[in-house]
Structure 1
Amino acid sequence: MKVSLKIKILIFALSIILLLGSATGYFFLRRISNLIEEQIVYRLNVLSSNISLNAEDPIILEDDTYMAQLVKDIMSNRGFVYAKILDTDYKILASNELNEWGSVDSSIIFIDKSVIKKNKDVIELLKPVYLGDEKIIGFVRIASSTNEIVEAQKSAFVIIAFVTGIFFLIGIILSIVFSSLLTKQLNFLMIGLNKVSKGDLNVQVKRISNDELGVLTETFNTMVTNIREKELIKIAFTRYVSKQVAEKVFENPDTFLNKLKGERKEVSILFADIVGFTSMSEKLLPEEVVKILNTYLSSMVSAVFKHNGTLDKFIGDCVMAVFGAPIVLENSSLSAVNCAIEIQREVSALNLERKSMGLSDINIGIGINTGIAVVGNIGSKERLDYTVIGDNVNLASRLQSTANALKVPIIVSLEVIKKIEGKIDYRQLESVQLKGISSPVKIFSIILR
């Protein structure tokens, strides 16, 4: 039989009322507690208003010393547990605990007015700091211990203990029974939350009740599963783009998901191929071929990611990279050319190592073109690849083949030169006739320094 949490709480409350209703001491204790609590809240409001007014300039000027003094002044008052000053990103600018400085307090949510929170041990007040009367520039978070309430209750309890002792004893027994029923599932959830906070996304909390807490447990398990799947997607995505690009995509996933459906946009396409690798690999052991490929391809991919490019695919010993999608770059041509220059520098460094071992150099031919291409997820229902297609992609591939044939490190098209004019040194080569293009194509060589 499904028993709701609301019914459980009602039964518990009725039991307490039935047992303690005739005890005038209960009301006496509550009255004392309320009076002291009101005093604590009043003190919190006064002190938080004072620190809020005085924290305006220090927050703007990032005056850590002054903010530290404000926190110290708060903590000099009797009964205060902690005091913090935070910015609008919930970064702790000052705290009575030095190890909290600079960390983010993720336990709060945005507010535009004072908020009081109460629990067994502390009464907390969170108050916004305004610049003038409108803009919120930070928050003040202070808390006072409830020890005063506890001590007052203890004193009053001595007076009425004989009268109310029996009732409290019965109430405690009933409270233990009901609290056990209520908190067992919550304890499981707390253990699960603790594991998630430590990065364990494989946790699943056992459901032991059919009430609202049971539903909450199922919701928690579903949430963790969704987070785990999202993290797996993010990890997979970082195989194709740099971590920085991946973070930008996941900051606004809806925008980029729409782009993944397909669009025409200007991008720069880079092809980088190991010259003569096919004939070289025929003379090497398979393990040596894989080792060389991994070394040089890893170097090329690192350069692509460093310059905010997207790894489109590996084509044997060739790398295809795109600049300007999915993240729009200020100058995708310049990013692609700088990437190509860095690849050649890395290759030169690797060749020095090979030369020291008595091995021959390995050369890379790179072709770059800029133009309009179709960008998006292309493939079948079973497998999709984020890629670019179009004549401008084909031209980049042809330029890379030309670079190999002419033994030129980097060859780019006229469209690339238009974008990097005055920023990168180059020289024009003799126009070439490329496959699939009716008229000769102007080509340019990037000068390496």
Structure 2
Amino acid sequence: NNLGSSRNILGAVVYAEDGKVLAVSGILPGDDISGLYANADRIDDRSYSVAWQASDSDGKVIKAISFIEPVRFQNVIAGHALVTFSKGALDQSLHETVIAIVMATTLMILLGIVVSFYLGDLLAKPIRRLMDASKAIDKGEYGYRIQERRNDEIGYLTEAFNRLAAGMLEKNQVENAFSRFVSSSVARKIMANLDQIQLGGKHVDGSVLFADIVGFTSLSEQLPADEVANLLNEYFTYISMASDLYQGTIDKYMGDCAMIVFGIPEEDPDNIFHAIACAVMIQKLVSRLNASRVRNNQVAIHFRIGVNSGTMLAGNMGSSQRMQFTVVGETVNLASRLHTVADSDQIIITEHLYNSEHIKSRIQARRHKSIKLRGIAKPVSTYLVTDLAGDYHATMEARITEILAARDVA
């Protein structure tokens, strides 16, 4: 009776072993028990199912399905139990169950996607910050820091990155400060090989230029000390600009004298021409500056320059406690001697330099004289350089105009 009162169960029957109906509730199949077994489909070793059609109280046809199972007692069939369901109700229940499973699965998938995106973004944010920081450092923004603080592995990585950035900033600041005292190329080489700094050098081919102010001693006696310092700084600034334009390296300043090397420490196949062109630019810059000084009732400044080229020893000279990257040798000594014998506004080079390959056609020079120099047995034949030739002259004049315009000098 309990089974028969269920909404989805159409009926229930208990048969005796011989097929006699012992109890029934609800709809009873038309066939007897043997006929039902004959038309039934086996489900497993003990259960069977049979589909058939029944009619309700209104005569409406109902698709039914009955499930039959023998009732056994001590391996003896004592009877049979049959339960009949509405096939439509079962199909509906199955359909609703499938829909429920699909909806639950879809909801879980959507929830999984949302959670994965959230967790992915949560994990990716610090990684993106590290990537942005790496790009900033790569651009030279060594002051960039990651502000986020975490107590996990990414937090340790962030702290390590900030320490690295701080170290790079300090190294960059040291290098920038260092390059004010030595050339930037020398500073980079030293900073890149801090554990390999030692005394010594090697023979290289290069050019060297000496330039100093004519009559500087008497001039410094006439002017206040601060005005002398300002004057030197101004002219050395222009000399440094000319040096940079022609790939030169300021080796040192000695009082009023500037020593510039070319092809050292970085190789320059055209170092001879660049040294001569730099000398010409210095003299022309000074000439333009003098015109301005005379208009302002200031004393004119004149330079004398000597240039030489050849093999010299380049490297760290001094002691293990204090050393300097510089060049020494006969080539350097001759350049120094040449500039000391030059007159005001002159540029002196050797005949050998003038006759070097690809030099004579690019400069304007005239034979000067043979000069007997202290420490050199034979007289040295020299040339006076007055200008650059052709397009080289025009290019240099344009550069001079740009330099003076940038510093508001007419």
Q: TM-score range by the shorter chain?
A: 0.5 to 0.7
- Residues 260-299 of structure 1 aligned to structure 2 (within 5 Å): 262-299=201-238
Q: 1:416 to 1:207 in 2, by over 3 A?
A: farther
Determine the C-alpha separation between the residues in 2 that align with 1:286 and 1:341: 29
> In the alignment, which residue of structure 2 is the partner of 1:200?
141
Q: Which amino acid in 1 is paired with 2:327? A: V
Pairwise CA distance, 1:327: 2.6
Determine the C-alpha separation between the residues in 2 that align with 1:200 and 1:433: 56
In our comparison, the structure showing a higher alpha carbon Rg is 2
Among 209, 219, 224, the residue aligned to 2:165: 224
Pairwise CA distance, 1:374: 0.8
> In the alignment, which residue of structure 1 is the partner of 2:375?
436
Determine the C-alpha separation between the residues in 1 that align with 2:267 and 2:321: 28
In the alignment, structure 1 segments of 5+ residues that lack a partner are 1-156
Determine the C-alpha separation between the residues in 2 that align with 1:305 and 1:260: 27
Among 389, 414, 436, the residue aligned to 2:351: 414
- Residues 395-410 of structure 1 aligned to structure 2 (within 5 Å): 395-403=334-342, 406-407=343-344, 409-410=346-347
Please tell me whether residue 333 in structure 1 is matched to residue 272 in structure 2: yes
- Residues 228-247 of structure 1 aligned to structure 2 (within 5 Å): 228=169, 231-232=172-173, 235=176
> In the alignment, which residue of structure 2 is the partner of 1:357?
296
- Residues 44-443 of structure 1 aligned to structure 2 (within 5 Å): 160-162=102-104, 164-165=106-107, 182=123, 185-186=126-127, 189=130, 192-193=133-134, 196=137, 199-205=140-146, 208-211=150-153, 213-214=154-155, 216-217=157-158, 220-221=161-162, 223-225=164-166, 227-228=168-169, 231-232=172-173, 235=176, 262-381=201-320, 383-403=322-342, 406-407=343-344, 409-419=346-356, 420-443=359-382
Q: Which amino acid in 2 is paired with 1:395? A: L
Deviations 1:336-359 (A, max 9, x none): 111111111111100000111122
For residue 355 of structure 1, give the secondary structure of its aligned residue in structure 2: helix
Q: Which amino acid in 2 is paired with 1:217? A: T
Q: 1:289 to 1:171 in 2, by over 3 A?
A: same
For residue 369 of structure 2, give the secondary structure of its aligned residue in structure 1: coil
Pairwise CA distance, 1:282: 1.4
Are the aligned partners of 1:185 and 1:208 in contact in 2 as well (CA < 8 Å)? no
> In the alignment, which residue of structure 1 is the partner of 2:54?
none
Are the aligned partners of 1:275 and 1:364 in contact in 2 as well (CA < 8 Å)? yes
More helix by share: 1
Are the aligned partners of 2:283 and 2:345 in contact in 1 as well (CA < 8 Å)? no
Q: Which amino acid in 2 is paired with 1:331? A: D
Q: 1:182 to 1:424 in 2, by over 3 A?
A: closer
TM normalised by structure 1 equals: 0.53
TM normalised by structure 2 equals: 0.57
Deviations 1:26-76 (A, max 9, x none): xxxxxxxxxxxxxxxxxxxxxxxxxxxxxxxxxxxxxxxxxxxxxxxxxxx
Matched pairs, number: 283
Determine the C-alpha separation between the residues in 2 that align with 1:310 and 1:393: 14
Determine the C-alpha separation between the residues in 2 that align with 1:226 and 1:308: 30
Are the aligned partners of 2:199 and 2:319 in contact in 1 as well (CA < 8 Å)? no
Determine the C-alpha separation between the residues in 2 that align with 1:198 and 1:429: 52
Pairwise CA distance, 1:217: 3.0
Pairwise CA distance, 1:222: 5.4
Determine the C-alpha separation between the residues in 2 that align with 1:418 and 1:164: 89
Determine the C-alpha separation between the residues in 2 that align with 1:174 and 1:306: 58
Determine the C-alpha separation between the residues in 2 that align with 1:383 and 1:266: 26
For residue 372 of structure 2, give the secondary structure of its aligned residue in structure 1: coil
CA RMSD between the two structures: 4.0
Are the aligned partners of 1:270 and 1:368 in contact in 2 as well (CA < 8 Å)? yes
Are the aligned partners of 2:250 and 2:260 in contact in 1 as well (CA < 8 Å)? yes
Q: % of aligned pairs identical?
A: 35
Pairwise CA distance, 1:242: 8.8
Q: 1:169 to 1:329 in 2, by over 3 A?
A: closer
Are the aligned partners of 2:199 and 2:318 in contact in 1 as well (CA < 8 Å)? no
Q: Which amino acid in 2 is paired with 1:439? A: K
Pairwise CA distance, 1:397: 0.9
In the alignment, structure 2 segments of 5+ residues that lack a partner are 1-98, 389-410
Determine the C-alpha separation between the residues in 1 that align with 2:198 and 2:352: 24
Determine the C-alpha separation between the residues in 2 that align with 1:428 and 1:198: 52
Are the aligned partners of 1:240 and 1:312 in contact in 2 as well (CA < 8 Å)? no
Are the aligned partners of 2:302 and 2:345 in contact in 1 as well (CA < 8 Å)? no
Q: Which amino acid in 2 is paired with 1:347? A: V
Deviations 1:119-141 (A, max 9, x none): xxxxxxxxxxxxxxxxxxxxxxx
Determine the C-alpha separation between the residues in 1 that align with 2:162 and 2:234: 42
Q: 1:161 to 1:374 in 2, by over 3 A?
A: farther
Are the aligned partners of 1:260 and 1:375 in contact in 2 as well (CA < 8 Å)? no
